[in-house]
Structure 1
Amino acid sequence: MSLRNVNLAKIHIAKAQLGLDDDAYRALLGRVAGVRSAKELGPRQVAQVLAEFQRLGWKPESKQQGRATPKVPQNRQVVLKKITALLASATRPWSYADAMAKHMFQRERVEWLDDSQLYRLMQALIIDRSRHEQQ
């Protein structure tokens, strides 16, 4: 889903949560951005409309990115920090790494991997990163 589509979805969610009827919504779009439809909004106008919704009391809900960083022994912290960075750079949650652990080693969670498996998981994420950088 593109950033534009995500922002347009936020606009429609805010409209619903603020309880705006169609006339009030279109009036707000006209007043803030000079348009009658969200489809006509440019990137700067989208930001202005979202800011106006927040001024009117809408609070965007942030998505939980999954679970917390796994707890592993001190000797595995360096590898775990690298895995954390790789997941963050690819904007993937920890559930992605857990799914890889299950697929690669039949372990449900990253923290259940031994040293060798944890290192190989990190290598797989590095390979994944290099594949996506080439595209």
Structure 2
Amino acid sequence: MMSGNPLDVTARQTENRVTGVRETVLEFSGDCDFVTAELLRAAVLDVLPDLPRGSELTLDLSGVGLFDSSGLSALIMVHRHTTRAGVALTLQGAGDHLLRILDVTGVGAHFAATRAAAAAEAEREPRPSAASAD
């Protein structure tokens, strides 16, 4: 089944306040499937030549709904390209469905920063107190 939601991308530049490292964030929204996965790969390959070694590239996937095996393949290709270029790649906002795909396929090990960020985010979320459970 192919998605009816196109994959859109917005790029922004930031500087990590702690490390001072230049960071590029690509924010994706829509569906990443057989029809649109090439757009994810192309967006990364478009910005990669402008990123110096040691910089960071974050793919913000919080706006992505459907993510199928074509999207996974695109992520693997993107990871290979960024590794060769010496650019750190981080996934942000990956939903439970994508995290499960990364776990089941073993690809998640290549995105350790994603797991750490997800764990840190989960720790920051307020938990219901025992008093409010009554």
Q: Which structure would you say has the larger RCO, counting Cα contacts within 8 Å and 6 or more residues apart?
A: 2
Q: Give the alignment's TM-score, normalised by structure 2.
A: 0.27
Q: Quick check: which one's helix share is greater?
A: 1
Q: Give the alignment's TM-score, normalised by structure 1.
A: 0.27
Larger Rg over CA atoms: 1
Q: Quick check: which one's strand share is greater?
A: 2
